[in-house]
Amino acid sequence: MTGDGRHSGREESIRKLLRTIDENRVEQVDLKFVSLLGRWHHVTLPVGRLDASLFESGLGFDGSSVAGYDKGHTSDMTMIPDPDTGMLDPFWDRPTMSLICDIYRMDGQPYRRDPRGVAVRAEEFLRSTGIADAAMMSPEFEFYLFDSVRHRCAVEACSYEIDSEEAEWNSDRSDLRGTPLPLRGGYHALPPQDRLYLLRSEMVRLIEACGIPVKYHHHEGGGSGQAEIEILFYPLLRAGDITMTIKYMIRMAADRAGKTATFMPKPLWNAAGNGMHIHQHLFLRGRPLFWDEKGWASLSELALYYIGGLLHHSPALLGLTNPSTNSYKRLVPGFEAPVNRIYGLANRSAAIRIPAAGNTPETKRMEFRPPDATCNIYLSMAGMMMAGLDGIRNRIDPREAGYGPYDQKLAEIPESQRKKLKTLPLSLRAALDALEKDHAFLLEGGVFDEDLIEGWIELKRKELADVQTRPHPREIALYFDT
């Protein structure tokens, strides 16, 4: 180890963490790490096993059992906890400290397929360009809270059934009080129709107890139990850690309350879907780079080039930000989810919306609306930042490319213009094909590499085949009597 400031800062973080563990009489230490697919895994140690050496040597594990990690003789790996991610977990019966880990090979080298490592390298690359030194991100959390979900997928049967006490299909139940919410009529609903208020408030309490300030929470448009929680801005890596933590908190709080939470993009047919819109902007030495009072919507030229890069690479990006077959049941015309590669001021039908509320240098930002929570958040945010940087470095002007601005609703755009609009991929296959063809911008600075992208596409094509080769219940109704 070197004696640089970064190392001394880590040593101080370790000392602070150990003091917190001692003061709270922690009994268990839970180590979490993320798979390539974006799901947390964990292993738990008695607190006596935790000392300063664990932050150097880590804990060994079998990477071949983790989705997207190496198989065979290269699969022995090490997880090393990041002391800055310590969090007292409120869901354990015994006092437990949760830590997020980075993944290393047994030779001490960072594992290139570790998604958190991609986010680390993305921030390092950003600083190396001299363009900015901070990419600030703020994901929105949309999810459904259901009372039950049952599903079966076998050789001879395929079915699912979901229930929510708020749903209009329960309007004739004698054990429920009042009038249910319409299927798409839940936006900012008031109690008693909003039956989730207390549970959302408890979720917010738990999230804030972990040191994560919440902007607000409310009932979302889906009348069958849809909710939304929004947070403030954080640097890219920290935003990724916070996203994983909040999803965990929401699921666990729902489970404790006898419900189940899902971030699935489209769990209900013909109802509002769950997106994960991601607000973002760049800073250099504390100075906001997206603001220009004289520019269109008070956006700087640099911000427009960032938008140009995002929209130029958006077909490939959707291979990371919308990487499930279910994603493309949300990205359909007729709902707020965008299907066109356009940008506009306060335009919710555009892939990139410029929030009208961002009317100061510090709050001026853009919102990329296609993503959903089936993504690996670290890869998605790193990919978006890399696309935006590519737009800045190559001066990709969204106005010249025909991406806008379009400030009116899609239906208000003249039909002759609508026909010329470029669209986003409308299937997972199309998005993966685009990512396969267009990913050189992700390789800049060694942030991503070919092996990771190939491994990601391989996993996702297997998911695609798994869904596409199965008979669908609706096909029985349409074709059984052929």
pLDDT at 372: 97
> Per-residue pLDDT tens for 281-328?
999 999 999 999 999 999 999 999 999 999 999 999 999 999 999 999
pLDDT at 174: 64
DSSP helix/strand/coil, 133:
coil
188 an active-site residue? no
**Interatomic CA distance for residues 324 and 375, integer angstroms:** 8
220 an active-site residue? yes
**Rounded mean pLDDT, 173-184:** 77
**Interatomic CA distance for residues 205 and 210, integer angstroms:** 9
DSSP helix/strand/coil, 462:
helix
pLDDT at 309: 98
142 an active-site residue? yes
Marked catalytic residue, from 89, 102, 114, 140: 140
62 an active-site residue? yes
140 an active-site residue? yes
Count CA atoms within 13 Å of residue 77 on its CB side: 24
Marked catalytic residue, from 70, 89, 102, 142: 142
**Interatomic CA distance for residues 13 and 287, integer angstroms:** 27
**Interatomic CA distance for residues 433 and 120, integer angstroms:** 27
pLDDT at 8: 63
> Per-residue pLDDT tens for 214-228?
999 999 999 999 999
pLDDT at 71: 76
Marked catalytic residue, from 220, 241, 372, 390: 220
Percent of the chain with pLDDT over 70: 97
Give kind and range of the element (H or E) at residue 341: strand 340-345
**Interatomic CA distance for residues 460 and 374, integer angstroms:** 11
**Rounded mean pLDDT, 338-366:** 93
pLDDT at 2: 36
Whether 344 and 350 have beta carbons less than 8 Å apart is answered as: yes
pTM of the prediction? 0.95
Among 312-316, 342-346, 400-404, 472-476, top mean pLDDT goes to: 312-316
* Identity of residue 465: A
Q: Is residue 122 predicted with pLDDT exceeding 80?
A: yes
Q: Is residue 237 predicted with pLDDT exceeding 90?
A: yes
Marked catalytic residue, from 217, 219, 251, 277: 277
> Per-residue pLDDT tens for 259-288?
999 999 999 999 999 999 999 999 999 999
Whether 289 and 281 have beta carbons less than 8 Å apart is answered as: yes
The set of long-range contacts for 242-245, using a CB threshold of 8 Å and a minimum separation of 24, is 242/212, 243/139, 243/141, 243/377, 244/32, 244/34, 244/40, 244/100, 244/377, 245/87, 245/207, 245/210, 245/212
11 an active-site residue? no
Q: Higher pLDDT residue, 175 or 434?
A: 434
pLDDT band at 402 (very low <50, low <70, confident <90, very high): very high
pLDDT at 4: 42
Q: Is residue 430 predicted with pLDDT exceeding 50?
A: yes
Marked catalytic residue, from 70, 82, 367, 372: 367
Could you tell me whether strands 28-34 and 96-105 are parallel, antiparallel, or unpaired per DSSP bridges? parallel
Residue 400, burial from CB neighbour count under 10 angstroms (0-12, 13-18, 19+): exposed
Q: Is residue 1 predicted with pLDDT exceeding 50?
A: no
Whether 351 and 343 have beta carbons less than 8 Å apart is answered as: yes
41 an active-site residue? no
> Per-residue pLDDT tens for 44-85?
999 999 988 899 999 999 999 999 998 766 789 999 999 999
Q: At what angle do helices 314-321 and 428-437 cross, to 10 degrees?
A: 120
Q: Is residue 5 predicted with pLDDT exceeding 50?
A: no
Whether 79 and 61 have beta carbons less than 8 Å apart is answered as: yes
Marked catalytic residue, from 116, 200, 281, 369: 369
281 an active-site residue? no
**Interatomic CA distance for residues 345 and 482, integer angstroms:** 50
pLDDT at 387: 98
**Interatomic CA distance for residues 101 and 60, integer angstroms:** 12
How much is the mean pLDDT over the chain? 93
Domains, the chain, ranges and CATH?
22-111 (3.10.20.70), 134-479 (3.30.590.10)
